[in-house]
Amino acid sequence: MRPGIAHKPFWLVLAALLGAAGVWLYAQRVLVSYQIADAARHDRPRGNLSDLYPRWLGARELLLHGRDPYGPAVTREIQQGYYGRALDPTRPGDPTDQQGFTYPPYVAFYLAPTIHLPFEIVRRGFFWVLLGLTVATVPLWLRVLSWQLPLWAQLTIVILTIGSLPVMQGLKLQQMTLFVVALLAIAIAFLVSDRPIAAGIVLALATIKPQLVWFLLLWLIMWTLADWRRRYRWAASFLLTMAVLFTASEWVLPHWIPRFLQAVREYRHYTDAVSVLDKLVPAPWGWLPRILAGAAAVHVGWKNRWCAEEGPTFAATASLVLAVTVIIIPSYALYNQVMLLPALLILVRARHQIWIRNRLSRVVESVVAILLLWPWLASLVLAGLSFFLPLELVERAWAVPGWTVLSLPVGVAALAVVAGYQKSFATDPEPDPS
């Protein structure tokens, strides 16, 4: 053993701990402090600011009192808890996000055990549930990718995951995206483990945020139709579970589908609901890279539709689809980038092959590495400075750790698409369906 090799795991784990500590200290000492000061300057209300609260209150009012969670009366009650008071359109400092109930009503069934509890207890408990599920996704994705790592390496990935900006934001907001992404990891792990019925059920449960699931479902449909007789079971269990969820939702809230669709339209109107690519590409041209990215992912998925679920191509294609989802859905929310984790793991594992491929690959890989590391480094620096410099001075740089958050998913998706093309064209020839 070469000198120093035995200490490598220790230093990697320590570096991960420092990076994670930097992100969480930055969030608490710099970011939240800035947000409080900025809200005070602009007379902007601040309540519990929990993304779980609109769902929880809507579920409580629906199940306990039979009220329409999409209605304006419930929306105002949500605002009173989320913001501390109902929004007033005559106040220029008030947020434009109405915080309406924009989920399918069957999310109420998931939250039903909590509706008799005080929200503060529910909030704290949900934080730990999300944390546990997020930690569990790391070994799940590693299992999907058939990547066996020593315990110290898995621990390093777990620490970096929970210490990343997207997960930090999702946990502080109690964002259900973390719950949905965990369900997706579980479902794909079930497919890889030849448990298609369980996979279909879990995929149906994940549709509480349909924008995160539809692109994966599109690829799974193509994959299933390529070998329907052997793969139909997950689709059958998915459709049956969706039928149960829709029927139960219709029972508790008749004619809910038009109300839900109207709530989604209103949500996109009162929020800045645009994609990552729309934020990066000048209007009105954002639609073009979205179509190109989606078409490239569909093409790779089509080439790989014959792959076996237990093979590496299936895992790589699913990871690619999730990465492209992040950049094409009409939301650039940071917490959505939790879906990049499997693609990042694949890229890390293949880093040497990517590096030796050609000069362009080395440049792109280097850029993605810088984009990935920047939030940890910047957060650590700002967190450290907050102990020595006046807080008002450090708060001026509150946005610095987020400088790369829009570019990173594009870089990861681009590398994943290129890797997907090269793998599918080089090693997965289309078999004769006969």
Structural domain includes residue 105: yes
Residue 124: its pLDDT value, please?
Answer: 96
Of 122-136, 379-393, 413-427, which range is least confident?
Answer: 413-427
Contact at 8 Å (CB) between 281 and 244?
no
pLDDT at residue 81 is higher than 50: yes
Residue 284: its pLDDT value, please?
Answer: 83
Structural domain includes residue 433: no
Structural domain includes residue 432: no
Mean pLDDT of the chain: 91
Here the tokens at position 175 are: 């964002």
pLDDT at residue 433 is higher than 70: no
Residue 432: its pLDDT value, please?
Answer: 39
Grade residue 421 by pLDDT with cuts at 50, 70 and 90: confident
Region 385-407: what's the mean pLDDT? 93
Structural domain includes residue 357: yes
Report pLDDT digits (tens) over 224-269.
999 999 999 999 999 999 999 999 999 999 999 999 999 999 998 8
HEC profile for the chain?
A: CCCCHHHHHHHHHHHHHHHHHHHHHHHHHHHHHHHHHHHHHCCCCCCCCCCHHHHHHHHHHHHHHCCCCCCHHHHHHHHHHHCCCCCCCCCCCCCCCCCCCCCCCCHHHHHHHHCCCCHHHHHHHHHHHHHHHHHHHHHHHHHHCCCCCCHHHHHHHHHHHHCCHHHHHHHHHCCHHHHHHHHHHHHHHHHHCCCHHHHHHHHHHHHHCHHHHHHHHHHHHHHHHCCHHHHHHHHHHHHHHHHHHHHHHHHHCCCHHHHHHHHHHHHHHHCCCCCHHHHHCCCCCCHHHHHHHHHHHHHHHHHCCCCCCCCHHHHHHHHHHHHHHHHHCCCCCHHHHHHHHHHHHHHHHCHHHHHHHCHHHHHHHHHHHHHHHHHHHHHHHHHHHCCCCCHHHHHCCCCHHHCCCCHHHHHHHHHHHHHHHHHHHHHCCCCCCC
Residues 193, 194, 200, 201, CA torsion sign: negative
Report pLDDT digits (tens) over 284-300.
888 899 999 999 999 99
Interaxial angle between packed helices 359-385 and 341-349, expressed in degrees from 0 to 180 and rounded to the nearest 10? 120
Report pLDDT digits (tens) over 91-144.
888 888 899 999 999 999 999 999 999 999 999 999 999 999 999 999 999 999
Report pLDDT digits (tens) over 152-206.
999 999 999 999 999 999 999 999 999 999 999 999 999 999 999 999 999 999 9
Residue 423: its pLDDT value, please?
Answer: 63
Q: Which long-range contacts (CB under 8 A, 24 or more apart) does 69-76 make?
A: 69/101, 69/105, 69/108, 69/253, 70/100, 70/101, 70/259, 70/260, 70/262, 70/263, 74/101, 75/99, 75/100, 75/101
Report pLDDT digits (tens) over 298-357.
999 999 999 999 889 999 999 999 999 999 999 999 999 999 999 999 999 988 888 887
pLDDT at residue 2 is higher than 80: no
Range of the domain at 198: 8-426
Region 366-377: what's the mean pLDDT? 94
Number of domains the chain is built from: 1
Residue 420: its pLDDT value, please?
Answer: 77
Closest alpha carbon to 68 in 254, 237, 235: 254
Report pLDDT digits (tens) over 59-72.
999 999 999 999 99
CA-CA distance, 422 to 308, in Å (whole number)?
Answer: 18
Region 412-429: what's the mean pLDDT? 69
Structural domain includes residue 434: no
